[in-house]
């Protein structure tokens, strides 16, 4: 039984070896599904619900790309990856793109030969303290005991931060987030530090979240974004501009509610017209249909809607936009023009 | 007393005293407690402190269990329902039980298929485990792998049928030629099986209907405790015969076979299982052409089977070494050839000695199947650590989920252990 499967796999391997040289965009179109790498589960960013349907902020990016390329937001094969398997899955061609809250760093971009197509979440390391401690800034944490995951960049960032501000701390090493949560609640440390989005999610799971505050200081840069393989620029362009389309849509006021009306006829704003395909041939240049961006926005709405629906202030995670606001609102989201 | 007369004595008992119960200090619960619990001061002290610890455990856990909430939709609702009291949120189990057992991608209207395969497993395993049952039932065992594959993976029925036909063809060739020349029969059988499988590769697509009777389910959609059971059952049942072959091969006088077995065993035992799993998942993907979907479960099964068979080989080698040399010589002096000697004299004794060791490996292997969660497969632990704890509804529920997993694993492992003890008693033919 197993051997026949094996032989079948070998035959398939021989046949597909020739096909793989074609571009990823053509592969995806021929296959009819997008293979998108996501986490095995991160609250708010990617997790299957009780019916097994994937949902979350990173998942929204996958679905938008699938809608832009294939016209169907459900034509996605979600491939769960762990922190250890994500890069090989992408490099080996098992997945077409990786949307797995992955930090854009020099070595990942250059040495591992990946192409980060943009940033969909600006994260950074923060601190959480019990309200009863009466601390309002991380600089007041002199002499505090800090729960910190060992062997991560957060450990190094923490040391840098305290040295720079000339204050001392007592590290309490922990292994996993769950352990950190338990130790922090048990009072083994005064403050718990990890990425701000992780802190918010951890805090949301507490019995009394209101008793704890996340301090305003962010002590490191963790730009998270989707990535593709080096060397296939057409495909990288498709993913990059789908993400940009979602961000631009928010800036231009295009939402999932009004996108159908706006795309029906050309309006007054030429940039909206170009984005939605009622003017110009941007879709054709990407090798997609003219209404590619319309389809992408229809899935889960623009960037702001995705944010609010999955991790925003009205969800249990309750993240503020902060750095992830549009540049017009004092954030860092700034997409190049659609022209 | 013969000269005393009845009338000269004050009292003579004429009837026997009715039998009395022994005094409470010699039997009954009080005596039992005195003997077993409070025999000495030290024992009494230990008893009291043990009782105190049990009391502490019960008072800590019992309210938590009894106060448990079974019917809410999220952790927040559950905490509201508890109103600040101590209590478990078992509702995560009632809401996500299907994901814990079958993974989150197995089609929910098809749950009866793995369920049926699980029930049939008992019928298939019974004739192997309990050899008092009629031998004809072994036919069920022989066809079970193909039925189970078809039930769980679905799709066209021709794949398991052709797979079975390959084995049948191989068996007939072996039966035909193996009597005169073992090597010719063995390799001829393997070649015949492969010929059938390769031919079936061309025939199967033509026979496959558009909509098969059972909907096909992809390997990556398998998950939950079902995945642990698949991996555990398949790998244990494959690694025991492989381990026997390796153990015999290691003792072989033919240098090539001996060294192949030694290198295999020592290499596989010298590498952690997690490394082999990473090789299966990650490194193989580099060697295979892009776009290849060489089934992940199959890769993992191969790796775990290799790992377990190396350990079982060493356990069985221990059993072989424990047999007195006289047993081997006795077999030779009876004029038995090597296969007969092994089958009739050596292995029955060696395997009997090895039972505790084999069971130890099997239990360890079954628990090790949870390691596949590290290579992003959603077994029971992978489901808990990944999707369920990452959902906004259930982030923060740890004890309930992991207790559930512990109970499932305990039931299976304790069952295996009890069976092995029964087997040891059943096979105890020596006088100890």
Please give the pLDDT value at position B262: 95
Query: Shortest Cα distance from B163 to chain A (angstroms)?
Result: 4
Q: What are the chain B neighbours of A207 within 8 Å (beta carbons)?
A: 79
Q: Are A228 and A309 part of one and the same domain?
A: yes
Residue A80 forms part of a structural domain? yes
DSSP states of A258-302 as a string? Answer: THHHHHHS--S-HHHHHHHTSSS-HHHHHTS-TTHHHHHHHHH-S
Please give the pLDDT value at position A329: 93
Mean pLDDT computed over B346-368: 91
- Interface mutation vs chain A, best among B200, B279, B292, most A CBs within 10 Å: B292
Q: Are A264 and A310 part of one and the same domain?
A: yes
Q: What are the chain A neighbours of B198 within 8 Å (beta carbons)?
A: 7
Adjacent-strand bridge partners of B60? none
> pLDDT class for B431, splitting at 50, 70, 90?
low
Q: Which of A142-156, B154-168, B225-239 has the highest mean pLDDT?
A: B225-239
Q: Do A2 and B301 touch (CB under 8 A)?
A: yes
DSSP 3-state assignment of A326?
Answer: strand
Query: Shortest Cα distance from B363 to chain A (angstroms)?
Result: 24
For every residue of chain B, which 3-state class applies, written as one string?
CCCCCHHHCCCCCCCCCCCCCCCCCCCHHHHHHHHHCCCCHHHHHHHHHHHHHHHHHHHHHHHHHHCCECCCCCHHHHHHHHCCCCCCECHHHHHHHHHHHHCCCCCHHHCHHHHHHHHHHHHHHHHHHCCCCCHHHHHHHHHHHHHHHHHHHCECCHHHHHHHHHHHHHHHHHHHHCCCCHHHHHHHHHHHHHHHHHHHHHHHHHHCCCCCCECCCCHHHCCHHHHHHHHHHHHHHHHHHHHHHHHHHHCCCCHHHHHHHHHHHHHHHCCCHHHHHHHHHHHHHHHCCCCCCCCHHHHHHHHHHHHHHHHHHHHHHHHHHHCCHHHHHHHHHCCCCHHHHHHHHHHHHHHHHHHHHHHHHHHHHHHHHHHHHHHCCCEHHHHHHHHHHHCCCCCCCCHHHHHHHHHHHHHHHHHHHHHHHHHHHHCCCCCC
> pLDDT class for A331, splitting at 50, 70, 90?
very high
Mean pLDDT computed over B335-354: 90
Query: Shortest Cα distance from B383 to chain A (angstroms)?
Result: 9
Query: Is the pLDDT at A97 greater than 90, yes or no?
Result: yes
Looking up tokens 């478990």, which residue turns up?
A: B88
Helix ranges (DSSP H) in A20-130: 24-31, 57-70, 86-91, 106-110
Predicted ipTM of the assembly: 0.76
Q: What are the chain B neighbours of A204 within 8 Å (beta carbons)?
A: 392, 395
Q: Are A251 and A150 part of one and the same domain?
A: no
> pLDDT class for B6, splitting at 50, 70, 90?
low
Q: Are A15 and A113 part of one and the same domain?
A: yes
- For B32, the token pair is 């039992």
Q: Convert the pLDDT of each residue in B278-319 to its tens digit.
A: 888 877 767 776 656 678 888 899 999 999 999 999 999 999
Could you give the CA distance from residue B146 to residue B149 in angstroms, rounded to a whole number?
Answer: 5
Higher-confidence residue of A26 and B397: namely: A26
What residues make up the domain containing A145? 125-220
Mean pLDDT computed over B26-49: 88
Mean pLDDT computed over A5-17: 42
Mean pLDDT computed over B27-31: 83
Q: Do B292 and A12 touch (CB under 8 A)?
A: yes
Helices A57-70, A303-310: axis angle to 10 degrees equals 140
Cβ neighbours for A137, distance < 8 A, ≥ 6 positions apart:
A215, A216, A217
Please give the pLDDT value at position A9: 44
Mean pLDDT computed over B92-97: 91
Could you give the CA distance from residue A197 to residue A120 in angstroms, rounded to a whole number?
Answer: 13
CB pairs < 8 Å spanning A and B: 147
Query: Is the pLDDT at A16 greater than 50, yes or no?
Result: no
Query: Is the pLDDT at A180 greater than 90, yes or no?
Result: no
Nearest residue in chain A measured CA to CA from B384: A41
Mean pLDDT computed over A197-217: 85
Please give the pLDDT value at position B313: 95
Residue A37 forms part of a structural domain? yes
Looking up tokens 């077999």, which residue turns up?
A: B331
Asked if B300 contacts B231 with a C-beta cutoff of 8 angstroms, the reply is: yes
Mean pLDDT computed over B338-350: 90
Q: Do A39 and B166 touch (CB under 8 A)?
A: no
Higher-confidence residue of B58 and A198: namely: B58
Q: Which of A172-186, B13-27, B145-159, B283-297 has the highest mean pLDDT?
A: B145-159
Asked if A13 contacts B288 with a C-beta cutoff of 8 angstroms, the reply is: yes
Residue A259 forms part of a structural domain? yes
Q: Residue A199 maps to which CATH number?
A: 3.40.190.10
Residue A229 forms part of a structural domain? yes
Cα→Cα distances B270→A49, B262, B276, Å: 41, 12, 11
Any B CB within 8 A of A9 CB: yes
Nearest residue in chain B measured CA to CA from A311: B392
DSSP states of A119-135 as a string? Answer: -SEEE-EEEEEEGGG--
Asked if B208 contacts B156 with a C-beta cutoff of 8 angstroms, the reply is: yes
DSSP 3-state assignment of A98?
Answer: strand
Q: Are A150 and A216 part of one and the same domain?
A: yes
Q: Are A238 and A325 part of one and the same domain?
A: yes
User: Given the DSSP bridges, would you call strands A34-39 and A76-81 parallel, antiparallel or unpaired?
Assistant: parallel
Q: Which of A180-194, A209-223, A233-247 has the highest mean pLDDT?
A: A233-247
Q: Are A211 and A233 part of one and the same domain?
A: no
Q: What are the chain A neighbours of B285 within 8 Å (beta carbons)?
A: 88-89, 92, 94
Q: Do A52 and B166 touch (CB under 8 A)?
A: no
Residue A70 forms part of a structural domain? yes
Adjacent-strand bridge partners of A130? A212
**Could you tell me the strand order of the sheet in which A97-98 lies?**
A76-81, A34-39, A97-98, A227-229, A114-116
Residue A212 phi/psi, 5-degree rounding, is -130, 145
Mean pLDDT computed over B333-341: 89
Residue A3 forms part of a structural domain? no
Please give the pLDDT value at position A61: 95
Mean pLDDT computed over B85-96: 90
Please give the pLDDT value at position B105: 87
Query: Is the pLDDT at B394 greater than 50, yes or no?
Result: yes
Residue whose C-alpha is closest to residue A231's, from A19, A89, A23, A16 = A23
Which of A163, A191, A220 is the last residue in one of the domains? A220
Please give the pLDDT value at position B4: 56
Q: Are A79 and A191 part of one and the same domain?
A: no
Could you give the CA distance from residue B316 to residue B350 in angstroms, rounded to a whole number?
Answer: 7
- For B174, the token pair is 């072996």
Please give the pLDDT value at position A7: 43
Asked if A300 contacts A256 with a C-beta cutoff of 8 angstroms, the reply is: yes
Please give the pLDDT value at position B36: 86
Which of A220, A236, A267 is the last residue in one of the domains? A220
> pLDDT class for A151, splitting at 50, 70, 90?
low
Any B CB within 8 A of A177 CB: no
Residue A334 forms part of a structural domain? no
DSSP 3-state assignment of A339?
Answer: coil
Of A3, A47, A206, the CB nearest to B391: A47
The domain tally of chain A equals 2
Q: What are the chain B neighbours of A81 within 8 Å (beta carbons)?
A: 376
Instruction: Tell me what percent of the residues of chain B surpass a pLDDT of 90.
Output: 45
Query: Shortest Cα distance from A85 to chain B (angstroms)?
Result: 7
Q: Are A160 and A280 part of one and the same domain?
A: no
Q: Mean pLDDT score of chain B, rounded to an integer?
A: 88
Looking up tokens 């992991």, which residue turns up?
A: B402
Higher-confidence residue of B411 and B424: namely: B411
Asked if B297 contacts B235 with a C-beta cutoff of 8 angstroms, the reply is: no
> pLDDT class for B236, splitting at 50, 70, 90?
very high
- How many CB atoms lie under 10 A from the CB of residue A16? 17
Q: Are A44 and A87 part of one and the same domain?
A: yes
Angle at A97 between CA A93 and CA A102, to 5 degrees: 115
DSSP states of A136-150 as a string? Answer: -SGGG-TTEEEEEET
Q: Do A317 and B398 touch (CB under 8 A)?
A: no
Of A5, A16, A207, the CB nearest to B291: A16
Asked if A62 contacts A98 with a C-beta cutoff of 8 angstroms, the reply is: no
Could you give the CA distance from residue A297 to residue A312 in angstroms, rounded to a whole number?
Answer: 18
Query: Is the pLDDT at B124 greater than 70, yes or no?
Result: yes
Q: Convert the pLDDT of each residue in A32-84 to its tens digit.
A: 999 999 988 888 889 888 888 999 999 999 999 999 999 999 999 999 888 77
Cα→Cα distances B3→A256, B12, B13, B15, Å: 124, 15, 18, 22
Residue A63 forms part of a structural domain? yes
Q: Which helix (H) or strand (E) holds A52?
A: none
Could you give the CA distance from residue A5 to residue B254 in angstroms, rounded to a whole number?
Answer: 33
Higher-confidence residue of A10 and A319: namely: A319
Q: Do B376 and A44 touch (CB under 8 A)?
A: no
Which of A220, A252, A276 is the last residue in one of the domains? A220
Any B CB within 8 A of A333 CB: no
Higher-confidence residue of B23 and A25: namely: A25
Mean pLDDT computed over A80-89: 84
Please give the pLDDT value at position A11: 42
Q: Do A4 and B200 touch (CB under 8 A)?
A: yes
Query: Is the pLDDT at A18 greater than 80, yes or no?
Result: no
Q: Are A75 and A189 part of one and the same domain?
A: no
pTM of the model: 0.82
Query: Is the pLDDT at B3 greater than 70, yes or no?
Result: no
Q: Convert the pLDDT of each residue in B248-259 to its tens digit.
A: 999 988 999 999
Q: Are A118 and A129 part of one and the same domain?
A: no
Q: Do A85 and B292 touch (CB under 8 A)?
A: no
Q: Which helix (H) or strand (E) holds A162?
A: helix A153-164
Please give the pLDDT value at position A339: 87
Nearest residue in chain A measured CA to CA from B238: A2
Query: Shortest Cα distance from B396 to chain A (angstroms)?
Result: 5
């Amino acid at each position: 039984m197993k051997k026949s499967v094996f032989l079948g796999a070998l035959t398939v391997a021989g046949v597909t070896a020739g096909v793989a040289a074609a571009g990823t965009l053509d592969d995806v179109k021929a296959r009819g599904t997008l293979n998108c790498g996501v986490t095995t589960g991160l609250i708010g960013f990617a997790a299957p619900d009780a019916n097994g349907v994937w949902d979350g902020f990173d998942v929204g990016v996958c679905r938008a790309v699938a809608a832009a390329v294939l016209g169907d937001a459900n034509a996605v094969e979600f491939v769960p990856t762990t922190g250890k398997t994500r890069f090989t899955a992408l490099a080996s061609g098992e997945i077409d793109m990786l949307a797995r809250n992955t930090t854009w760093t020099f070595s990942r971009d250059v040495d591992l030969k990946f192409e980060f197509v943009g940033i969909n979440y600006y994260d950074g390391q923060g601190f959480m303290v019990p309200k009863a401690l009466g601390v309002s800034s991380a600089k007041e944490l002199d002499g505090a005991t800090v729960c910190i995951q060992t062997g991560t960049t957060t450990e190094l960032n923490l040391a840098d931060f305290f040295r720079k501000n000339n204050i001392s701390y007592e590290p309490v090493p922990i292994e996993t987030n769950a352990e950190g949560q338990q130790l922090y609640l048990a009072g083994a440390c005064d403050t718990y530090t990890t990425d701000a989005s992780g802190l918010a999610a951890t805090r949301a799971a507490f019995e009394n979240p209101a008793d704890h505050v996340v301090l305003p200081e962010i002590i490191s840069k963790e730009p998270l974004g989707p990535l593709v393989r080096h060397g296939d620029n057409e495909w990288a362009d498709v993913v990059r501009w789908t993400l940009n389309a979602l961000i631009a849509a928010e800036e231009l006021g295009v939402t999932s509610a009004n996108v159908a009306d706006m795309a029906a006829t050309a309006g007054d704003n030429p940039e909206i017209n170009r984005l939605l395909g009622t003017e110009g041939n941007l879709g054709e240049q990407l090798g997609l249909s003219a209404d590619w961006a319309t389809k992408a926005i229809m899935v889960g709405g623009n960037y702001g809607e995705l944010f609010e629906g999955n991790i925003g202030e009205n969800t249990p995670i309750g993240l503020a936009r902060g750095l992830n606001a549009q540049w017009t609102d004092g954030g860092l989201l700034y997409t190049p023009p659609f022209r | 007393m013969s000269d005393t007369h009845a009338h000269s004595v004050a009292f003579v008992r004429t009837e026997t005293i009715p039998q009395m119960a022994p005094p409470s200090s010699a039997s009954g619960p009080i005596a039992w407690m005195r003997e077993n619990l409070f025999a000495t001061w030290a024992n009494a002290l230990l008893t009291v402190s043990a009782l105190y610890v049990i009391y502490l455990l019960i008072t800590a856990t019992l309210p938590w269990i009894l106060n448990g909430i079974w019917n809410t939709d999220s952790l927040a609702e559950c905490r509201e329902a508890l109103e600040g009291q101590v209590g478990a949120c078992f509702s995560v189990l009632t809401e996500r039980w299907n994901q814990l057992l079958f993974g989150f991608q197995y089609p929910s209207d098809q749950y009866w298929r793995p369920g049926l395969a699980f029930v049939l497993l008992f019928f298939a395993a019974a004739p192997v485990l309990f050899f008092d049952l009629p031998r004809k039932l072994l036919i069920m065992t022989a066809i079970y792998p193909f039925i189970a594959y078809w039930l769980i993976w679905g799709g066209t029925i021709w794949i398991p049928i052709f797979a079975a036909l390959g084995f049948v063809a191989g068996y007939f060739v072996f039966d035909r030629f193996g009597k005169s020349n073992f090597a010719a029969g063995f390799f001829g059988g393997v070649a015949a099986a492969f010929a059938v499988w390769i031919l079936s590769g061309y025939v199967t697509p033509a026979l496959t209907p558009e909509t098969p009777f059972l909907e096909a389910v992809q390997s990556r959609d398998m998950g939950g405790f079902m995945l642990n059971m698949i991996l555990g059952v398949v790998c244990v049942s494959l690694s025991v015969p492989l381990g026997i072959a390796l153990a015999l091969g290691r003792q072989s006088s033919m240098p090539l076979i001996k060294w192949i077995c030694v290198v295999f065993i020592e290499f596989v035992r010298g590498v952690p299982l997690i490394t082999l799993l990473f090789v299966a998942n990650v490194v193989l993907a580099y060697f295979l052409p892009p776009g290849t979907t060489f089934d992940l479960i199959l890769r993992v099964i191969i790796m775990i089977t290799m790992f377990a068979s190396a350990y079982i080989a060493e356990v069985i080698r221990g059993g072989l070494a424990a047999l007195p040399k006289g047993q081997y010589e006795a077999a030779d002096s009876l004029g038995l050839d090597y296969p007969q000697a092994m089958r009739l004299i050596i292995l029955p004794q060696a395997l009997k000695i090895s039972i505790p060791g084999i069971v130890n490996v099997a239990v360890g292997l079954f628990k090790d199947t949870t390691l596949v969660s590290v290579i992003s497969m959603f077994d029971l632990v992978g489901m808990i650590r990944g999707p369920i704890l990452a959902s906004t509804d259930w982030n923060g529920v740890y004890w309930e989920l992991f207790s559930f997993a512990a109970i499932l694993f305990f039931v299976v492992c304790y069952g295996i252990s009890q069976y092995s003890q029964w087997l040891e008693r059943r096979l105890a033919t020596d006088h100890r």
